[in-house]
Amino acid sequence: MTTSGLLLLMRQWSQCNTGRTKLRTDLIFSQQKTGGENAVIVKDPVMRKFFRFREAEHFIAQQLDGSTPGEVIRQRVEERFGTALTPETLEEFIDKLRRRGLLEEEAKVGSDAHRRGRVRGSLFYLRLKAFDPDWLLNHLIARSHFFFTPHFLMFSGAVILLGCGLTIVNWREIEKDILQLYRVETLLFGWLTILFVALAHEFAHGLTCKHFGGEVHEIGFLLLYFQPAFYCNVSEAWLFPEKSKRLWVTFAGPYFELFLAALATLIWRVTDPATWLNAAALVVMAVSGIRTFLNLIPLIKLDGYYFLSD
C-alpha cells in the first residue's frame, strides 16, 4: 500500500470514529463573557470537575452527537467561524475530551474513580473530604438571610473601619497584652479559637455560594505545605455567569473573618483587662487578623489566589 493510500485509510477511519463519538448528556454548561470573549464553563457532575471552553471548542463539542461525521463537523465549524479546521486538529480536540472523561464511553470510568477519591491532591496540597455539608447549609441558609442584606454590609463595614481605627490607635497596648497571653491555658484556647474561626470562614464561603443558587457538597481538611487547615469546595461558583457573584463567594470567607476580628477588637477595648472575655477577644483579634492577611496573599493558593484568578 502506498503512503497516500495509507493516509487516506487513516483519515477514513478517523472520520468513522469521530461519527461514533458522543458528548456526555449529563454535563452542565454555563455561558459566560470575560474580557469581551464568549466562553462556556462545563461541569462534570460525576467527577465534580470544571472546564473552560472557548466558543469554537463548545460549538465543536455540541456537534459530537454520536452520528455526525467528522467532515460535516469541520464544514459547520468553517462556515460558523470562517476558519479552517483540519482533521488532525479535530481529532486532537476529541482526544482531549476523551482524556478528561467528557465523552459517553468514559462516564462509567469517571463514576468509579469518583467513588474511590476521598483523598485528593498532591504532597503539598492534600485534601481529605470530611462530609457533605449540603443538608447543614440548607438548614443554615434559611436562618441567615440578614447576612446577605445591604443592612449587614453597612453594619459590618462600619465595624471593620472602627476596628481598624482602634487597632492603629491602641497598637502599643495590644502588643503588651499579647505578650501576656503566652501561657499554656491561653495556647489551648488559641488553638480552639483557630478551629472556630477557620470553620466560620469556610461556612461563609459555603453559605454565600448557596445564597446565589450554587451547590456545596464537600467540606474537609486541607494540608497546605504541611500546615493543617480546612476547606469548603465552592467550585460550583464557576458556573455563575455574573462575575460579581463569583467574587463574593471567594471574598465572603476573609471578609467575615475580618468582621470577627473587628468585633473582637471592640469587645477587647470596652471590657476589663482582668476578665476572660477580654483575653478571649484579644486571641480572636490576633488569630483572625493574621489569618486574613495570609489568606489574601495571591502567591499562596488560598482566597487571594482565587480572587485574583476570577
- 99, 117, 135 - which closes a domain: 117
- 117, 141, 163 - which closes a domain: 117
Q: What is the DSSP letter of 103?
A: B
Same-domain status, 9 and 141: no
pLDDT value of position 128: 87
Same-domain status, 39 and 177: no
Strand spans (E) along the chain = 28-34, 37-44, 49-54, 119-122, 125-131, 219-224, 227-232
Q: What count of other Cβ atoms lies within 10 Å of the Cβ of residue 206?
A: 28
Same-domain status, 95 and 148: no
Cell 476578665 locates to: 275
Dump pLDDT digits (tens) for 121-141.
777 778 888 889 999 999 999
Same-domain status, 187 and 265: yes
Same-domain status, 66 and 184: no
Residue 235 makes CB contacts below 8 A (sequence gap 6+) with: 48, 50
Same-domain status, 266 and 177: yes
Same-domain status, 90 and 12: yes
- Is residue 209 within 8 A of residue 234, CB to CB? The reply is yes
pLDDT value of position 229: 81
Same-domain status, 124 and 229: yes
Dump pLDDT digits (tens) for 45-103.
888 888 999 999 999 999 998 888 888 899 999 999 888 888 899 999 999 999 999 99
Same-domain status, 178 and 293: yes
Dump pLDDT digits (tens) for 223-273.
877 777 888 999 899 899 888 999 999 999 999 999 999 999 999 999 988
Q: What share of the chain is helix, strand, coil (3-state, %, to 5)?
A: 60, 15, 20
Q: Say whether pLDDT at 107 is over 80.
A: no
pLDDT value of position 8: 44
Same-domain status, 54 and 100: yes
Range of 117-121, 231-235, 293-297 with top mean pLDDT: 231-235
The tally of domains found in the chain comes to 2
Range of the domain at 109: 3-117
Cα–Cα distance, 189 to 287 (Å, whole number): 11
Q: What is the mean pLDDT of the chain?
A: 84
Cell of 38: 464568549
- 117, 142, 176 - which closes a domain: 117
Same-domain status, 207 and 81: no
Residue 233 makes CB contacts below 8 A (sequence gap 6+) with: 48, 216, 217, 218, 219
Q: Say whether pLDDT at 212 is over 70.
A: yes
Dihedral (C-alpha) 62, 67, 69, 70: value to the nearest 10 degrees?
A: 40
Same-domain status, 29 and 147: no
